[in-house]
Structure 1
């Protein structure tokens, strides 16, 4: 008999996990979502086998329950599920970007003997909705699992088995370690990116040219500032303590830099940049981390009619999916004038090969 998987929240992440599970397991995946259009799309695309507005019945029959909705929503459903008679062998997990609060609330389930393991697939896309779901979305990405003190090794292995179709690298850590690490490498950088953009916004009121000049490299290094304001408001609040500590350290670091610049300390300033460069250059270039990777290809484009159409036609013929196209006006040393954003590194490699064969010069900038 097929096992049942209940997916609470059917957006990009939930849909992609569904595809990954179906790739390996013969299951019934039932979607539950307040957005009925997402359920209909999911069934039409065969990402979901069924949908239901009767949460109790679906939850009590489920072998695996996945909260693939925002953390605040997941917490609400945790308390709703605690009133149901779930299967004794059910595994419950989530996909939230913070783990502290959800693990604290999950105690209401674990106190009843149910297995809850926090989860965080550290990959994503710049698209949303179940229609953008990809079976390979989490391939080679880190997938964090946060058990509690009652979780057994068999239960952790059971969840890994459910999710093995993702092709992810599973890392088991406690919720505090998770929130500290993601605070440093993801949540805090989003705060800084937003702050940098706000600084340019304020300065552009004095000098409007700043907005135009920020269209090149500045726009690229602050891309994460375009993420969902609602989602990041929730994340910042949920990971408050970690972020307050990081902000405090950052302020002290900037005070020190202020002093170095004021005193024109050439050697110390040089070392500051050199140490940062060396550390970044030694980071894994091909691994997926806490911030979704951008797979960009820069292409030299001649000033002639139909050139852009020709490039997109070449990629379309070879079934290379393009996420975004952007003509770079301020090149800042980059030889390419067209930036083609692809969904995966494999897509970028394919695009590079096909465009090179057709006489285009292409560049990858790490």
Structure 2
């Protein structure tokens, strides 16, 4: 039975894990540490943790489970240091990193059979960061990948799942290699592509000054993941080097194939290329959270006149529906609606659609 949990890193992910644990089982005592003392104090104030650790490794002899909610580089460093700490026999240690091979290899190398390390990756996030953005339902319906190390039993995995039951996540077990290959395809490499598209736009801005202004519409939307933390993605790419190098080769080959279609004016092949991509993309699950955090956007077709934003937000406020972002779209090619509203959850977006239909005749669209 788990009575005491220690969470290192009290940002969005660590804080949300803490809140989900407390919501499901308030009797579990949560000790928390963050390098930012203000974050730790806020975590205590909002009830995410019961006690603040004043140093990275306090007395851990009574702790049943340790969560490492830190960047991947720091996670491996902490794992190496844990082997020298006095820990409870059979303590379960887990992390939340976006790569798994190097982390689990580090655990296999430095932790003995008394310490059960289970790699973890909750595939959820938010537009915001920090403990104040943490929510107990952040991981609801999201995939939560578990990659056990060599000393772990199924009972250990089941115990971790039981503590995380309050997240309401969908747990999937796989090997570290499988995890890194899959996330490389559907998360890591797309971030590289998004960043490269931004670089391409920037390189043409001097010749065509309107590039930046015209990129305010669909281009800004399809490259929004390029705004993610540079230090985090630097570490992720270095930790997932081998799968990504293979994906680079595949991507270059794919671009050469399309380039040849264009150069040779192969109309049928170009049509088939885009048709297949459309069919596959349209067949992707709409309501299932994936490796890249979902953006719950709603486009509203409103006339662009003074006061329209306050009109819409007034209706939403009246129905107590929270927004995370709002923007007027200038470049609307292939985007229906002049106003884009962003929400924290799909449920909030659904409520917003009902609200707008209730109070006004503006059309709403989901892309």
Q: TM-score range by the shorter chain?
A: over 0.9
Query: CA offset at residue 24 of structure 1?
Result: 1.2
Maintained 8 Å contact 1:299/1:360: no
Q: Secondary structure at the match of 2:289?
A: coil
Is 1:180 equivalent to 2:181 in the alignment? yes
Is 1:22 equivalent to 2:22 in the alignment? yes
Measured against aligned partners, the alpha-carbon deviations of 1:233-283 in whole angstroms (never above 9, x if no partner) come to 111111111111000111111111111111111111111111111111111
Q: Secondary structure at the match of 2:60?
A: helix
Query: CA offset at residue 50 of structure 1?
Result: 1.2
Matches within 5 A, 1:146-225: 146-225=147-226
**Counterparts of 2:98 and 2:83 in 1: how far apart (Å)?**
22
Residue aligning to 1:9: 9
Query: CA offset at residue 74 of structure 1?
Result: 1.1
Q: Secondary structure at the match of 1:91?
A: strand
Measured against aligned partners, the alpha-carbon deviations of 1:45-102 in whole angstroms (never above 9, x if no partner) come to 1111110124433432211100001011111111221111211131110000000111
Which 10-residue stretch deviates more, 296-305 or 236-245?
Answer: 296-305
**Counterparts of 1:139 and 1:131 in 2: how far apart (Å)?**
18
**TM-score, length of structure 1 as denominator length:** 0.97
**Counterparts of 1:257 and 1:359 in 2: how far apart (Å)?**
45
Query: CA offset at residue 112 of structure 1?
Result: 4.3
Query: CA offset at residue 187 of structure 1?
Result: 0.3
**Counterparts of 1:303 and 1:242 in 2: how far apart (Å)?**
47
- CA pair 152-251 structure 1, distance change in 2 beyond 3 A: same
Matches within 5 A, 1:213-362: 213-362=214-363
- CA pair 333-108 structure 1, distance change in 2 beyond 3 A: closer
Residue aligning to 2:145: 144
Q: Secondary structure at the match of 1:273?
A: helix
- CA pair 193-56 structure 1, distance change in 2 beyond 3 A: closer
Give the total of aligned pairs: 366
Query: CA offset at residue 286 of structure 1?
Result: 0.8
Q: Secondary structure at the match of 1:193?
A: helix
Maintained 8 Å contact 1:297/1:340: yes
**Counterparts of 2:363 and 2:63 in 1: how far apart (Å)?**
49
**Counterparts of 1:330 and 1:79 in 2: how far apart (Å)?**
51
Query: CA offset at residue 195 of structure 1?
Result: 0.4
Maintained 8 Å contact 1:98/1:238: yes
Residue aligning to 1:127: 128
Maintained 8 Å contact 1:297/1:362: no
Residue aligning to 1:34: 35
Maintained 8 Å contact 2:108/2:150: no
Maintained 8 Å contact 2:303/2:338: no
Residue aligning to 1:100: 101
Query: CA offset at residue 335 of structure 1?
Result: 3.2
Query: CA offset at residue 109 of structure 1?
Result: 4.8
Query: CA offset at residue 196 of structure 1?
Result: 0.6
- CA pair 335-42 structure 1, distance change in 2 beyond 3 A: same
Superposition RMSD in Å: 1.5
- CA pair 58-139 structure 1, distance change in 2 beyond 3 A: farther
Maintained 8 Å contact 1:147/1:156: yes
Measured against aligned partners, the alpha-carbon deviations of 1:85-132 in whole angstroms (never above 9, x if no partner) come to 211131110000000111111124542421000000001011000010
**Counterparts of 1:333 and 1:204 in 2: how far apart (Å)?**
22
Which 10-residue stretch deviates more, 52-61 or 158-167?
Answer: 52-61
**Counterparts of 2:330 and 2:68 in 1: how far apart (Å)?**
43
Unaligned runs of 5+ in 2: none
- CA pair 2-94 structure 1, distance change in 2 beyond 3 A: closer
